[in-house]
Amino acid sequence: DAGITQSPRHKVTETGTPVTLRCHQTENHRYMYWYRQDPGHGLRLIHYSYGVKDTDKGEVSDGYSVSRSKTEDFLLTLESATSSQTSVYFCAISEARQLEAFFGQGTRLTVV
Amino acid sequence: LAKTTQPISMDSYEGQEVNITCSHNNIATNDYITWYQQFPSQGPRFIIQGYKTKVTNEVASLFIPADRKSSTLSLPRVSLSDTAVYYCLVGDPGGFKTIFGAGTRLFVKA
């Protein structure tokens, strides 16, 4: 399995608080992605990165920001969590765009 | 962006061959077709990818007709452990906007 670790694996937070999820890879892959998965919606792309300090928005980016200061780390931040952001968040990495992507185990976030 | 349509669910028995068809009428010239498998509480796992005709690996085969408006994932001799959700994706390898649909939930029975 690809070396990709998400932390934390589970988190419960209150509405209005900031939350940061971390994705760490040991594969030195250039591309990194954050998805959220909700019942009935499959996986939806939030943000992606194509290099250090190079990021762009996906289809559901509102309310989320990302940062990538090192190749191995891709952070997803919810500046002010809302109940609609309760979801399972997956990080993925790939060596080349849109080719085989490797997914992390996911982070289950609950906003109460 | 090319949208995909798959059956919501399928049932099969151990040892049977399973074929899951995906429709993608608006596929673009540069788009590739990729299939992922997802078990509960895990991230999706890449199964196979193709552009046209047939692709085969140790896990599955992917059949793509000449018009590329559909594709079929074929799983030979499924086992109980193949029970999962299977996603068909269509996207341009040069872009980042590949869309995951709702997937097909495959139940394999003993």
- Please report, in tens digits, the pLDDT of each residue of chain B (110 residues total): 568 899 999 999 999 999 999 999 988 888 889 999 999 889 999 999 999 999 999 999 999 999 999 999 999 999 999 999 999 988 865 556 667 777 999 999 99
B81 domain residue, yes or no: yes
- What pLDDT does residue A32 have? 92
Instruction: Annotate A99-109 with b (16+ C-beta within 10 A) or e (fewer).
Output: ebbbbbbbbbb
Smallest Cα distance from B4 to chain A, Å:
12
B41 domain residue, yes or no: yes
The residue of B96, B100, B104 whose CB has the most chain A CBs within 10 angstroms, and thus the best one to mutate to test that interface, is B96
B48 domain residue, yes or no: yes
- What pLDDT does residue B1 have? 56
Domain coverage including residue B19: 9-109
Residue of chain B whose Cα is closest to the Cα of A41:
B102
- What pLDDT does residue A56 have? 92
Q: Say which CATH number the domain at B59 has.
A: 2.60.40.10
- What pLDDT does residue B96 have? 61
SS3 A83: helix
Contacting residues of A for B42, CB less than 8 Å apart:
103, 105-106
Residue of chain B whose Cα is closest to the Cα of A6:
B43
- For residues A45 and A56, the answer to whether their CB atoms sit within 8 Å is no
What's the structural domain count of chain B?
A: 1
User: Domains, chain A, ranges and CATH?
Assistant: 4-111 (2.60.40.10)
Instruction: Annotate A2-30 with b (16+ C-beta within 10 A) or e (fewer).
Output: bebebeeeebebeeeeebebebbbeeebb
B19 domain residue, yes or no: yes
Asked if B96 and A100 come within 8 Å (Cβ–Cβ), the reply is no
B4 domain residue, yes or no: no
Tell me how many helices (H) and strands (E) chain B has. 0, 9
What one-character DSSP code corresponds to residue B80?
A: G
B102 touches chain A (CB under 8 A): yes
Contacting residues of A for B5, CB less than 8 Å apart:
none
A100 touches chain B (CB under 8 A): yes
pLDDT digits 0-9 by tens, A29-57: 999 999 999 987 778 889 999 999 999 99
- What pLDDT does residue B30 have? 84
- What pLDDT does residue B92 have? 65
Asked if A43 and B100 come within 8 Å (Cβ–Cβ), the reply is yes
B69 domain residue, yes or no: yes
CA distance B41 to A26: 22
- What pLDDT does residue A39 have? 84
pLDDT digits 0-9 by tens, A53-90: 999 998 899 999 999 999 999 999 999 999 999 999 99
